[in-house]
Amino acid sequence: MFIRIIGWVIIIFVAMFILGSILGNKEGSGERTKPKEFVIAGLIILLIGMPMAFHHSKPKVAEQHHVTKAEKASSSAKKVSSSKASSKREESKKEKSEVKKAREKNERENLANYKTALKTVPTKTKGTITSAYVDKDSGVTMVTLSDDALALSSNELKTVVKSAWNAVGNLRSNYTPFASDKGSTEMYITIQDSAGNKLAHTSLLGSFKYDGE
């Protein structure tokens, strides 16, 4: 805008200068100036002034406004994308938490049901096993044989003990998995007599280990 004003000032000044020079030559006396030279000089100055007078500046404001809108749109899109990603993460965390809670609840119920099932073992074995329970301190499954089994020969006793160990092990398998902080001990089974003498137990590798000999 400022350039255009300067341009128009130059054009008006040159026009007045040329007009004044021509009129001065017509009315004045003495030595006359050369109108042709003034006209040429004026045209040169006009050539400089006209581009300035008709100068069009670039619509910087419009461009800035356009960039601003684009930036706002981009910022808005990023916020929406970030919000969606955050929402998905929260949903994923919530789902994982719910799955974990459901699994832990199921494991606790499994262990409780296993303990209940152990109470039925004496009846199902017709007294061969007099008690079966999970020890509160060690978490090991304790199985007590009837004293009648002790009257058997060594080989027969070992067979009965192994049968008892297998039966309780199969029962336990029906209720696994247990909670990870307790399942490592419930997998162990100890067979004993009524006096508490160990007859067999589960080895570290999970196999049957006879202790009656």
Phi, psi of 198 (to 5 degrees): -75, 125
Q: What is the pLDDT of residues 89-147, one digit of tens each?
A: 888 888 888 888 898 899 899 999 999 999 999 999 999 999 999 998 888 999 999 99
* Cα 55 → chain centroid: 57
Q: What is the pLDDT of residues 142-189, one digit of tens each?
A: 999 999 988 999 999 999 999 999 999 999 999 988 876 555 666 799
User: 93 Cβ partners below 8 Å, 6+ apart?
Assistant: none
**pTM: predicted TM-score of the whole model, two decimal places:** 0.56
Which of 57-61, 120-124, 170-174, 204-208 is predicted least confidently?
Answer: 57-61
Percent of the chain at pLDDT > 70 equals 65
Q: What is the pLDDT of residues 3-41, one digit of tens each?
A: 667 766 676 766 676 666 666 655 554 555 555 565 566
Instruction: Select the more confidently predicted residue: 82 or 201.
Output: 201
| Whether the predicted pLDDT of 57 surpasses 80 | no
Residue boundaries of the structural domains of the chain: 2-53, 117-210
User: 157 Cβ partners below 8 Å, 6+ apart?
Assistant: 149, 150, 199, 212
The pLDDT assigned to 44 comes to 67
